[in-house]
Each structure stands twice: as C-alpha cells, then as structure tokens.
C-alpha cells in the first residue's frame, strides 16, 4: 500500500518560561518557534478542489494560523500551575481573574486572554510549555480540523516544534 506524506510549517514569536528548569529556562524569555505538521494518506483526493492532494497546504496553513498563530503569536504562553507568573499578568483589583482563567483551562484545555495587567496576549495551558508539551497540545487541537478540511483523506501523524534552529521536539502518537 502506498503512503503519501505532506508537511507544512509556520513560525511564531512567543514568550514562555519553564518554572521547574534548573537553569536559564526559568527566566522569562522568547523563541521564534517553528511548528511543523505532518499528514499522511493512503490515497489522494480523486476529485474536487483537492484533486491529487493529501490535503491542500493552504487548508493546513488556515488551521495552523487559526489555532496556533492567532492565540500565541506575539503572546506569552504560561503554565496554569505557574502562580507567580500568572500574578504578574493579573489586572490590579480584578478579583477572581486567576480563578476564571484556571476554570477556562480546565473546561477547554487552554485559555486565551488580553484582559491582563498590560493588556497583552496571554495563552494559559495545563502543562509546562516545553517544546514536547506544546507539540502534543498542538497535535490535539489540529487532529480534528485536519480530518475535516481533507474530507477524511488526511491523517495528522506528527507535530514538530523547534525552539531554536538546534532544538526540536516531536509528538507522534502510536
């Protein structure tokens, strides 16, 4: 049986910190993240606007921009467990702000807000924002849209996240 594979990348700029890191990554810092998705199919579309494709690269870009770039580019990605960091973003005098963010993370798997002390973009996730965990998170948010946009032809098989040109993590469930 044949297998066709396609890959699509986007790049975003975002801040984060790894609060448990034993060294420099405890500091607030940023990366120009490269995020790559890989999809495969055993057959190409036989007809329609995606004829002879696994999935239109443009459709992959649309979904990556909607689900990764829009919430995270030029934002800060924070762990819901990083109370000291969330306190920096909490608006002064806004009682219950942290609790409502944590409730949204629990209900939806992540929370996006610009209602922060400086009005800046904050994306809160229920894990430490390592490259490994971000790859898994973005896999989970993209798996259904890839299926839908490809009319069930393409299957998302891997998400890769580069923090630097030299450091990459991959999530590819068995």
Ligand X SMILES: Nc1nc2c(c(=O)[nH]1)N=C([C@H](O)[C@H](O)COP(=O)(O)OP(=O)(O)OP(=O)(O)O)CN2
Give contact residues for ligand X (rule: CB under 6 A): 18, 25, 29, 130-132, 163-164, 166-167, 169
Smaller CB separation from ligand X, 2 or 166? 166
CB of 153 to ligand X, least distance (A): 32
* Nearer residue to ligand X within complex by CB, 36 or 163: 163
The distance of closest approach from Cβ of residue 169 to ligand X in the complex, given in angstroms and rounded to an integer, is: 6
Q: What are phi and psi of 132, to 5 degrees?
A: -65, -50
Nearer to ligand X, 5 or 32 (CB): 32
Considering the complex, what minimum distance in angstroms separates the CB of residue 14 from ligand X? 11
Minimum Å distance from CB 23 to ligand X?
7
């Amino acid at each position: 049986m044949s297998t066709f594979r396609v890959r699509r990348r986007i790049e975003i700029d975002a801040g984060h910190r790894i609060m448990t890191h034993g060294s420099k990554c405890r500091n607030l810092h940023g990366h120009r993240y490269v995020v790559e998705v890989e999809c495969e199919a055993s057959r190409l579309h036989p007809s329609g606007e995606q004829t002879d494709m696994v999935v239109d690269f443009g459709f992959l870009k649309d979904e990556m921009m909607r689900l990764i770039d829009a919430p995270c580019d030029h934002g800060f990605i924070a762990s819901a467990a990083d109370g000291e960091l969330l306190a920096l973003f909490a608006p002064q005098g806004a009682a219950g702000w942290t609790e409502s963010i944590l409730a949204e993370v629990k209900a939806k798997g992540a929370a996006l807000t610009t209602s922060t002390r400086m009005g800046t973009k904050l994306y809160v996730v229920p894990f430490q924002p390592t490259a490994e965990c971000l790859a898994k998170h973005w896999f989970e948010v993209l798996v259904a849209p890839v299926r839908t946009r490809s009319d069930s032809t393409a299957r998302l098989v891997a998400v890769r996240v580069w923090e630097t040109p030299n450091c990459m993590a991959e999530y590819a469930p068995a």
